[in-house]
Amino acid sequence: MLTAWMLSTRTYRASSFRCKGVNRRTRTIQISQDTKDLAKLIYSEAGNQSLEGQQAVANAVANRVNLWGKSVNTVIYMKYTDGTKYQFNGVEGREWNDAGTLIDNSDASINPIIDLAQNTIDGSLADITGGATFFRNPAKATNAWFQGKIDSGAFIETNSIGSHVFYREKKYDRK
């Protein structure tokens, strides 16, 4: 179960009753800022992936929250140690803004991702990554630090889903 989540909520106009939590009378849905940000991250990092690929990205964020004792927003907005870039490239990408627009405009196409984010926060989403806290698309990712962690054995590959490969840090393996 995730902790330290959901401090504030906002009401969004729902265009579909399929999205969990829709008030059928007002056709609105209340989601927390954490849910919105997690949905935006899932969309920006894996919006072009299958539902399984999107779930795996959500799992990696949840695993970081649980392992590191941080809030979802802290994990999402975490920067590299030099402070120059976000660890999740999607935070700065066009897709991040597109997802925010879809949510704010109650576009039904984003509802499955909102549900996925909410289920992650509720703790009802099974981890399909093998405890991964990191992921990358090898066809796009060129981060030397990340590659160095893989080459040194500090990152252990746990799963490959869609175009992403998932990793956990060896230092957290149980002895």
Q: What is the pLDDT of residues 119-174, one digit of tens each?
A: 999 999 999 999 999 999 999 877 888 899 999 999 999 999 999 999 999 998 86
Question: Residue 119: what pLDDT?
Answer: 94
Between CA 52 and CA 102 the distance in angstroms is 21
From the number of C-beta atoms within 10 Å of its C-beta (0-12, 13-18, 19+), residue 117 rates as buried
Predicted confidence band of residue 21 (pLDDT cuts 50, 70, 90): low
Between CA 129 and CA 53 the distance in angstroms is 10
Q: Is residue 14 part of a domain?
A: yes
Residue 96, pLDDT above cutoff 80: yes
Tell me which residue has tokens 């959500």. Answer: 58
Q: Is residue 62 part of a domain?
A: yes
Question: Residue 2: what pLDDT?
Answer: 42
Average pLDDT score over the chain: 83
Tell me the HSE value of 4 on the side-chain side, using a 13 A CA sphere.
13
Give mean pLDDT, residues 50-78: 95
Q: Is residue 141 part of a domain?
A: no
Q: Is residue 101 part of a domain?
A: yes
Residue 28, pLDDT above cutoff 60: no
Q: Is residue 54 part of a domain?
A: yes
Q: Is residue 95 part of a domain?
A: yes
Give mean pLDDT, residues 90-116: 87
Domain total for the chain? 1
Instruction: Return the percent helix, strand and coil in the chain, to nearest 5.
Output: 45, 15, 40
Quote the percentage of the chain above a pLDDT of 90.
54
Domain that holds residue 111: 9-128
Predicted confidence band of residue 10 (pLDDT cuts 50, 70, 90): very low
Q: Is residue 171 part of a domain?
A: no
Q: Is residue 157 part of a domain?
A: no
Question: Residue 23: what pLDDT?
Answer: 54
